[in-house]
A and B are shown apart, each in its own frame.
Chain A
């Protein structure tokens, strides 16, 4: 079963079908050429018979002399009889015979009985043209081929008392035809063998590739989502299919990953505040002597905690959603990025000012990207809020609080950056701050939800861009680089 698996292969069946088609075409060609050759050889044989008969009868008449005078029949007979005799003996396939024609109720009789091999007229009668088609029983002699012989013969009248029969075995070109037949047969054999072999080999190779892909798919199915279908390195249709399937797997992995992150986050990070909320409500309920204002305060706290929970929940969902559609912003219409960034800056300017920060704007005009204005706005808002929370210069540094919002073109990217003059981010933590729920200072865990930069990164990546943190010397600068539309400087 395992050995002959290629019989089940589609490629092998394809090769089999193709081979069968080629073989039948070759067979048809063979049958036609064989028949044509047969006809040609037959015609030549008849011509040879006619020539021979003509020759013999001319000799006979020549020897017989003037037909008007008394013909010398005996001389004439002795002229052709030895020739006929010799030729009859020389070849197995040549037949000669002399007859007295049928007359006065007597059947035709052989003359010179015993001198020739066979009495052709015994097996067949001449038609109007004198042609005889006879089938002879298998000759049993030492030279006999052991099969029935088909003979074509011509009866020619020499004179009123004598007729001549010259015949040939129709199989006299046997060897020619046999060779032809063998050639065709071996041709067919080779074609079939090559077809089957080729089919089997391609089927094997194909099956190996498909089998490898199938095994990889099975691994993926059983949970190894990182696994990909193997590539072989040719640019053929199967390879292209594999590449597309792998891209599909990338996307599925990303979706599953995002989904897993959401469930992890929900389980991990909503449990604590939910527990806190529940505890707060329970404590208020258990205080029998609690006054009205005390109960109000407890309820207020509960509502605040619930709002914070909802904010976290919303942030988790938006990040997950952004992650599942990485690069999908290509399909968005172009927006005026300069305007979008300026709008976000304008929204925050009063808040910054009130908190004692100076806002410096350095926004290059007319920069456009494909994307969603609302997402860009929210990302910039997150960056500014981040600077507001963590960008206060350390005490004693003498620096004035300042936030710089910049938009500049750098190569094919539009770079949005928000810099503060705070303590900055140590180089070894610059990647970590983009992960969800990370805060540099654990003691400030109550403030914010820690998802701000994770959201910024998700927005950047959903627009086909990237995000990083730099040293603003002093302070931290978060840079969001997005693919800029062409044509604008």
Chain B
């Protein structure tokens, strides 16, 4: 993936770009809003990481202009402002996702990979499938190897979210946001317990196990042997 990092702080940008390259992504750095607007508008990027507060042209304004120019490269806002209003403002300006500083790098990575993947339209999908695991979004049923699996509504949402991102890391915060619509970090491992319940329903007694834990990052639904 080609990713453009628009961040005025050189050290933060260095960490980001370095981290992304370690994960075999191509990463470029734009040092301010003007530079970022210039590079992003030329196209060729799969995702943008935009620092919200920059001198001169700030991230919010930059993204608005970029969207007005017709550029629809998915963007993730990085910000130190974590109030709900700010999140809404950022999403309204055209950002697809929003991450509050400080963040854990695996969290950023999972989100940015999810973003780039999200570009493929998913509106027409009524069935999600991974190996022998099938989900019918209309009938709201789940089967594994032809056996019907009973899920609670929330477990269904959880599995749907994982299936939509199958093959990608989904972090606990991402699940808390998309499934429960909460934007805080619980002190306890609530998500882990929900996942282990789900796992016991969809993986217990079947082979291979699909729901994997990615250490230090989150979870991944994949049919590959190794995560």
A interface residues with partner B (beta carbon < 8 Å): 310-311, 314, 321, 343, 346-348, 350-351, 353-354, 372-374, 377-378, 381, 385, 388, 448-449, 452
Q: Which of B184, B189, B197 contacts A374 (CB 8 A)?
A: B184
Complex: chain B residue closest to A311, CB-CB: B185
When the two chains form their complex, are residues B83 and A321 in contact, meaning their CB atoms are under 8 A apart?
yes
Q: Which of B84, B181, B183, B187 contacts A385 (CB 8 A)?
A: B187
Complex: chain A residue closest to B154, CB-CB: A346
Interface residue count for B (Cβ, 8 Å)?
Answer: 20
User: What are 22 sample pairs from A and B whose C-beta atoms fall under 8 A apart?
Assistant: A311-B185, A314-B82, A314-B185, A346-B154, A347-B180, A347-B186, A347-B190, A348-B188, A348-B190, A350-B193, A350-B196, A350-B197, A351-B193, A353-B193, A354-B193, A374-B84, A374-B181, A374-B184, A378-B182, A378-B184, A385-B187, A448-B187
A341 to B183, CA, bound (A): 16
Which residues of chain A are near B181, meaning CB under 8 Å?
373-374
Question: A266 to nearest B CB, angstroms?
Answer: 15
When the two chains form their complex, are residues A343 and B187 in contact, meaning their CB atoms are under 8 A apart?
no
Complex: chain B residue closest to A377, CB-CB: B182
Which residues of chain A are near B56, meaning CB under 8 Å?
none
Query: With A346-B154, A374-B183 known to touch, is A351 a contact of B188 (CB < 8 Å)?
Result: yes
When the two chains form their complex, are residues A350 and B194 in contact, meaning their CB atoms are under 8 A apart?
yes
When the two chains form their complex, are residues A381 and B186 in contact, meaning their CB atoms are under 8 A apart?
yes
Which residues of chain A are near B190, meaning CB under 8 Å?
347-348, 350-351
Q: Which of B102, B187, B189, B197 contacts A310 (CB 8 A)?
A: B102
A354 to B200, CA, bound (A): 14
Which residues of chain A are near B180, meaning CB under 8 Å?
343, 347, 377
**Given pairs A350-B196, A374-B184, 16 additional interface contacts (CB within 8 A):** A310-B102, A311-B187, A346-B154, A348-B190, A350-B197, A351-B188, A351-B189, A351-B193, A372-B84, A373-B181, A377-B180, A377-B184, A378-B184, A385-B187, A385-B188, A388-B188
B-side interface mostly? loop
Question: A415 to nearest B CB, angstroms?
Answer: 22
Complex: chain A residue closest to B192, CB-CB: A351
Question: B87 to nearest A CB, angstroms?
Answer: 10
Interface string of B147-164 (1 = CB under 8 A from A): 000000010000000000
Question: B74 to nearest A CB, angstroms?
Answer: 24
A381 to B102, CA, bound (A): 22
A310 to B82, CA, bound (A): 13
Question: B200 to nearest A CB, angstroms?
Answer: 11
Question: B227 to nearest A CB, angstroms?
Answer: 21
Which residues of chain A are near B193, meaning CB under 8 Å?
350-351, 353-354
Complex: chain A residue closest to B180, CB-CB: A347
Complex: chain B residue closest to A307, CB-CB: B104
Question: A459 to nearest B CB, angstroms?
Answer: 12
Question: B155 to nearest A CB, angstroms?
Answer: 10
Which residues of chain A are near B189, meaning CB under 8 Å?
351
A343 to B179, CA, bound (A): 11
A310 to B184, CA, bound (A): 13
Which residues of chain A are near B154, meaning CB under 8 Å?
346
Question: A77 to nearest B CB, angstroms?
Answer: 117
Which residues of chain B are near A346, meaning CB under 8 Å?
154
Which residues of chain B are near A448, meaning CB under 8 Å?
187
Question: A220 to nearest B CB, angstroms?
Answer: 30
Find the residue from B82, B185, B190 having the highest chain A CB count within 10 A: B190
Complex: chain A residue closest to B191, CB-CB: A347
Which residues of chain B are near A385, meaning CB under 8 Å?
186-188
Which residues of chain B are near A373, meaning CB under 8 Å?
181
Complex: chain A residue closest to B152, CB-CB: A346
A128 to B187, CA, bound (A): 121
Which residues of chain A are near B82, meaning CB under 8 Å?
314
Question: B21 to nearest A CB, angstroms?
Answer: 21
Complex: chain A residue closest to B101, CB-CB: A310
Question: A371 to nearest B CB, angstroms?
Answer: 12
Question: A464 to nearest B CB, angstroms?
Answer: 19
A310 to B103, CA, bound (A): 10
Which residues of chain B are near A449, meaning CB under 8 Å?
187
Question: A337 to nearest B CB, angstroms?
Answer: 15
A177 to B161, CA, bound (A): 106
A310 to B107, CA, bound (A): 16
Find the residue from A343, A372, A448 having the highest chain B CB count within 10 A: A343
Which residues of chain A are near B84, meaning CB under 8 Å?
372, 374
A314 to B189, CA, bound (A): 18
Which residues of chain B are near A374, meaning CB under 8 Å?
84, 181-184
A347 to B177, CA, bound (A): 12
Find the residue from A354, A448, A452 having the highest chain B CB count within 10 A: A354
A457 to B140, CA, bound (A): 40
A374 to B181, CA, bound (A): 8
Which residues of chain B are near A348, meaning CB under 8 Å?
188, 190
A321 to B180, CA, bound (A): 23
Question: B195 to nearest A CB, angstroms?
Answer: 9
A311 to B186, CA, bound (A): 10
Which residues of chain B are near A311, meaning CB under 8 Å?
185, 187
Question: A349 to nearest B CB, angstroms?
Answer: 9
Question: B182 to nearest A CB, angstroms?
Answer: 6
A193 to B185, CA, bound (A): 76
Query: With A351-B189, A351-B193 known to touch, is A381 a contact of B83 (CB < 8 Å)?
Result: no
Question: A353 to nearest B CB, angstroms?
Answer: 8
Which residues of chain B are near A343, meaning CB under 8 Å?
180
Question: B187 to nearest A CB, angstroms?
Answer: 5
Question: B88 to nearest A CB, angstroms?
Answer: 12
A343 to B190, CA, bound (A): 13
A310 to B189, CA, bound (A): 17
Find the residue from A310, A381, A388 having the highest chain B CB count within 10 A: A381
Q: Could you tell me which residues of chain B, from 169 to 227, have a CB within 8 Å of some CB in chain A?
A: 180-190, 193-194, 196-197
